Amino acid sequence: MHGLGNDFIIFDNIDNPTINDPKFINKISNRRLGIGCDQVMFIENTDEPNNFKVKMYNSDGSETGACGNGSRCVADYLMKKNKLNSLTIKSVSNDLFCTKIDNLVTVNMGVPKFNWNEIPLSKDQNTKNVKLDEFEAFCLSIGNPHAVIFINNLEDLENLNINAIGPRLEKHSIFPEFANIEFVSVLDDKSLRMRVWERGAGMTSACGSGACATLVAASSLDKSAKENKIVLDGGDLFIKWLDNGSVTLSGDTERVFEGFIGE
């Protein structure tokens, strides 16, 4: 499945733990040697009604704590399969409540974390203004670490060589667990244009948790309202920072194909 081109391989009810092996994940995620995807999602068995445990992995085999678009895709699949309008996905980071109205799937990504040790960063500092080489970033956690960098000129944003800059910033010494890097400009209509380098996956056409981080950072810096459209390479996501502190992510999902993997 994919959400705005941010694509996922989803395994349903996998009991065999060996399939979570990083080498297998890395191979099946390879776009030449395997199926190809940004992240791999494993739906595990659970005895709780309308609650589903999901493990999420980046294409390099590393486990991730949050994946907004992946959660929306899994939720859409499970809601259609079980004839539900809402459900909860239990991830390694938190519980994600998901709903669907028409074709729009929404996931509540929880409450952002801003303390340096919760993101985490390697040392105590002002997380709203973190020096990353030639850039300044607003750092926070949406179940995984993010660094949001604002670019004043839209042309400069579009011309950024993210494939060169992203890997360097992702593994900057300030991030002990590495980080997702978002580059953002405010458009004339006040919506937000975002390009992204994802931790463990590289440059992707969309990132749900990154869009949430972007809205929260922009709102905190008075660059955006608490509800806005995020314009990504793959299309638009809609983010709300609710009065209770949690953040919701809404957008379309698409099922591409399904099948079986044999020996």
Segments making up each domain of the chain, as ranges? 2-110, 130-242
Active site residue 67: yes
Give pLDDT, residue 93.
79
SS3 119: coil
Given the residues 73, 98, 139, 207, select the one marked as catalytic. 207
Average pLDDT over residues 231-241: 97
**CB-hemisphere CA count at 13 Å for 187?**
11
Q: Which of 26-30, 49-53, 75-79, 208-212 has the lowest mean pLDDT?
A: 49-53
Given the residues 67, 98, 139, 212, select the one marked as catalytic. 67
Average pLDDT over residues 164-191: 98
The proportion of the chain whose per-residue pLDDT surpasses 90, expressed as a percent, equals 85
Q: Which of 51-55, 62-66, 185-189 has the lowest mean pLDDT?
A: 62-66
Average pLDDT over residues 201-210: 94
Q: With residue 55 as reference, give the H or E element that holds it.
A: strand 51-58
pTM for this model (two decimals): 0.90
- Between 3.10.310.10, 2.70.98.10, 3.40.50.300, 3.30.70.1140, what CATH number should domain 2-110 receive? 3.10.310.10
Average pLDDT over residues 100-106: 91
Give pLDDT, residue 108.
96
CA distance 219 to 242: 12
| Chain mean position to CA 100 | 19
Tokens of 119: 């993101």
Active site residue 37: no
**CB-hemisphere CA count at 13 Å for 245?**
6
Cβ neighbours around 110 below 10 Å, total: 21
CA distance 125 to 193: 27
Residue 102 has pLDDT above 90, yes or no: no
Residue-wise pLDDT for 1-21, tens only, equals: 999 999 999 998 766 666 778
Residue 26 has pLDDT above 70, yes or no: yes
246 vs 131, 241, 250, CA distance in Å?
Answer: 27, 6, 14
| Chain mean position to CA 74 | 13
Asked if the domains 2-110 and 130-242 are classified in one and the same CATH topology, the answer is yes
Residue 82 has pLDDT above 80, yes or no: yes
CATH class, domain 130-242, is alpha beta
Average pLDDT over residues 54-63: 92
Give pLDDT, residue 103.
83
Give pLDDT, residue 260.
87
Taking alpha carbons only, the member of 240, 198, 249 closest to residue 218 is 240
Mean pLDDT, rounded, of the chain? 94
Give pLDDT, residue 207.
94
Give pLDDT, residue 15.
67
Q: How confident is the model at residue 30 (pLDDT cuts 50, 70, 90)?
A: very high
